Amino acid sequence: MATSSLALGGIIGLDSYTAFTSTIFMLILPSILFMQKHSLVAKPDNTPAAASSSSVILRPNRHTISAACRIWNNPRHLKFRQPGPGSTPWRSLLFFTLRSGLKVAAIVIIDRMLVKKIQAHLFANSNVLDFTPDQLPIIRPLLGIRIDEEDVDPISRHQFLLRAFISVSWIWANFVFLESCHAILAIFFVAILRLDNPEDWPSLFGNIADAWTVRRFWGRFWHRIATPTLSQWTRIIIQRVLHLQLTTGVAKTVEAFGIFFLSGLAHALASWRTGEGFAHLDILFFCANFVVVAVEILVARLWKYAVKGTWIELELRRNSKLRVVGRILGLVWVFSWFFWMVPRWLYPKALRLSIKQALMIESLMLNAKS
């Protein structure tokens, strides 16, 4: 099926990651050069000998090279401890290498033995009609609701499973690619070059079990590769253009919106550069998530106010089973949101890719006959 490359994460490929990474680093570099202060290299002693030997340009050594790598390749703004390269015992290095290697192996095995098989089974019975605009609505087909006496075709089992798979496959695709590359690079810099320490390479993603709201999905589970940079640029706009104090509620709301909007814009630029099309849907997807997060915050505050001082609040604090049930329902809510929203983001891209590849195949067949 022509859309098999799209099933795992929108058009997830090396070209897309290259385009997105280039866009983010265009924002990161001015921040590194003009906005941040760096002190990863230990200061020289205040002795006459040290003062006479000091210079503006530091001679390359393991510490300066490690510091340079940390400055230029730290989009998450991680904090590093001063004892630089080579300070980790060999036993810890061996354990870190083994753990990182097993992580990569587990990810690859799950992807190849489970996810790819599910993908192949679903797409073996799929065609272009599965991604047409009439497949975007889901609530009315599930409930059989009619509008203006218009009949609604019930959703088939195949369409339901395909939609469910694509709704979460973009998450898995990003996790597989980013976490695997991150683990391999961690082994290279920590165990082989010994420029970093194991704690300098924390996991990119959090625990999916903590994502029981859309807000926690983006804040606790999803990687924060671009978030600090986008936040920094949004704060510049807030202070210098809007002239707002960063501590105000309006400024915090604008900052959150700016992060989602700029993320959508960066993805849109990557879509445009790689020829995916429908770049505006990237912006729409991330802005829609901002709106949902804002609604969640409002509902949570109203709920907290409504149950404050009641037996419900006391029972929720005492009963751990209720909290577990609440988190499970929250995970169902997050899945339901993506089940509704993600096809509106990815189905048009899948349809465009399918048509393009079908036309290419037809053209090749005609050329072969002639």
Phi, psi of 287 (to 5 degrees): -65, -35
Q: Looking at 111-226, list the stretches that DSSP marks H as alpha helix, in order from N- to C-terminal side.
A: 116-124, 139-143, 157-187, 214-216
Per the domain annotation, does 237 fall within a domain? yes
> Distance between CA atoms of 183 and 260, rounded to whole angstroms?
27
> Full-prediction pTM beyond 0.75?
yes
115 and 246 together in one domain: no
Q: Are residues 219 and 178 in the same domain?
A: no
For 150, the 3-state DSSP assignment is: strand
In a shared domain, residues 181 and 330: no
Same domain, 149 and 216: no
Q: Are residues 217 and 167 in the same domain?
A: no
Asked whether residue 61 is domain-assigned, the answer is no
241 in the same domain as 172 = no
Which of 176, 205, 234 marks a domain boundary? Answer: 205
**What torsion do the CA atoms of 171, 172, 175, 180 make, to the nearest 10 degrees?**
-160
Residue 139 pLDDT? 85
357 and 300 belong to one structural domain: yes
Specify if 24 maps to a domain: no
| pLDDT value, residue 149 | 55
Please check whether residues 173 and 223 belong to one and the same domain: no
pLDDT in tens, 96-139: 999 999 999 999 999 999 999 999 999 888 888 899 998 998 88
Taking the C-alpha atoms of residue 228 and residue 27, their distance in angstroms, rounded to an integer, is: 11
**Same domain, residue pair 235 and 128:** no
Query: Of 205, 236, 267, which marks where a domain is finished?
Result: 205
Looking at residue 151, its pLDDT comes to 63
Q: Within 13 Å, how many C-alpha atoms sit on residue 121's CB side?
A: 9
Q: Give mean pLDDT, residues 195-208.
A: 92
Question: Quick one: 291 and 318 in the same domain?
Answer: yes
pLDDT at 6: 45
The answer as to whether 17 is a domain residue is no
Percent helix, strand, coil in the chain, to 5, is 70, 0, 25
Q: Which domain holds residue 95?
A: 87-205
Q: Is residue 57 part of a domain?
A: no
State the Cα angle at 205 between 203 and 207, rounded to 5°.
105
Cα(84)–Cα(66) distance, integer angstroms: 7
How many independent structural domains does the chain possess?
2
Whether 257 is in a domain gets the answer: yes
pLDDT at 49 over 50: no
Does residue 288 sit in the same domain as residue 192? Answer: no
Q: In whole angstroms, what is the distance from residue 24 CA to residue 27 CA?
A: 5
Lowest-pLDDT choice from 147-151, 256-260, 338-342 = 147-151
Percentage of the chain modeled with pLDDT above 70 = 86
**Domain closes at, from 162, 183, 205:** 205
Residue count of the chain: 370
Non-local CB neighbours of 253 within 8 Å, separated by 6+ positions:
294
Distance, in Å, from the CA atom of 155 to the CA atom of 340, rounded to the nearest integer, reads: 13
Question: What DSSP designation does 76 have?
Answer: T
pLDDT digit string, tens, across residues 263-307? 999 999 999 988 888 999 999 999 999 999 999 999 999 999 998
Q: Kindly state whether residue 166 falls inside one of the protein's structural domains.
A: yes
Based on the fold, state whether residues 199 and 255 are members of the same structural domain.
no
* Structure token digits, residue 25: 């680093």
**Do the domain assignments include residue 182?**
yes
pLDDT band for 39, please (50, 70, 90 cuts): low
Render pLDDT for 61-84 as a digit per residue (tens, 0 to 9): 777 777 777 778 888 888 877 656
Q: Which of 340, 221, 215, 343 is nearest to 289 (CA)?
A: 215
